[in-house]
Amino acid sequence: MGLTDILAKVTDPYERQARLYPALLAGLPVIVMATVLYGSNSVVTAASTVAASCGGLYLLANIARERGRRLEPILFTSWGGKPTTQLLRHRDRNIEGPTKRRYHAFLSRMINLPFPNKRDEETNPVDADDIYQSAVRWLLNHTRDKSKYKMIFDENIAYGFRRNAYGLKIIGMCMCIATSGWVLISEGIVKVGEESGVNFFPANASTAANISLAVSVVMLMVWISYFTKTTIRNAAFTYAETLLRACDKI
């Protein structure tokens, strides 16, 4: 079973892109190593087919989802609250005043609750945030049509992908290091035991081993430099602002 066949089993776009892809990226060094070094091994092929057919894909997606969801409250706290809540606050300046007042007026009508003014927000910020979050919950429930609100759906996928990948960051980095270690030792680049040492230019190093090592090194750099709190925050606030724009379309 090839990677294309595996991905074809997951038809839901969010499930595939925001949950399964991060899990597959975490295991990419192992997948590449198994393919280029042991691809002709019928045992490896049979094992991957059985795993994919017996809920392996569902398990991978749920691991990514669970780790991402556990991380989310910690991120929100470090940012000062949920992105949508922050954007609706009077004291936040990411959305210009006239637009924010228009959003407030619309959402206030929809949930049949008066929105707090600046003084209310300063006096009781917890109650103010509760009203903002209630309004956002209403907005989420009324923008679930993926075809009508495609931009919102796409930004949600982008945020979910980065959040879940960040939740798997340690696992992904460990996979890169472990796979590199296995290839280095099995190919004789690093020798252990009585003849321990490093042979930087081993005569028996195969092209397949070099490919596997390259993928592991590149992915390690990706985990370190790309999947960060900053990139998640950018995606989260982009999604939040896109969601609030629906106030002008509903």
pLDDT at residue 199 tops 60? no
Residue scoring higher pLDDT (86 or 52): 86
Per-residue pLDDT at 205: 66
Highest-pLDDT range among 26-30, 56-60, 205-209, 219-223: 219-223
Per-residue pLDDT at 8: 61
Q: What is the average per-residue pLDDT within 170-193?
A: 83
**Is residue 55 very low, low, confident or very high in pLDDT (cuts 50, 70, 90)?**
low
Per-residue pLDDT at 49: 54
pLDDT at residue 79 tops 60? yes
- Give 112-124 pLDDT, tens digit per residue: 999 999 999 999 9
Per-residue pLDDT at 9: 60
Handedness of CA 175, 177, 182, 184 (dihedral sign): positive
Chain mean position to CA 77 = 18
Name residues whose C-beta falls within 8 Å of residue 248's C-beta, 6 or more positions apart in sequence. 102, 106
DSSP state of 247: G
pLDDT at residue 80 tops 70? yes
Percentage with pLDDT > 70 across the chain: 82
C-beta separation of 141 from 133 below 8 A: no
Per-residue pLDDT at 72: 94
Mean pLDDT over the full length of the chain:
86
Residue scoring higher pLDDT (190 or 145): 145
Other beta carbons within 10 angstroms of residue 70's beta carbon come to 10
Q: Which residue has the tokens 């092929």?
A: 45
- Give 126-177 pLDDT, tens digit per residue: 999 999 999 999 999 999 999 999 999 999 999 999 999 999 999 999 999 9
**Is residue 204 very low, low, confident or very high in pLDDT (cuts 50, 70, 90)?**
low
pLDDT at residue 232 tops 90? yes
- pTM of the full structure: 0.85
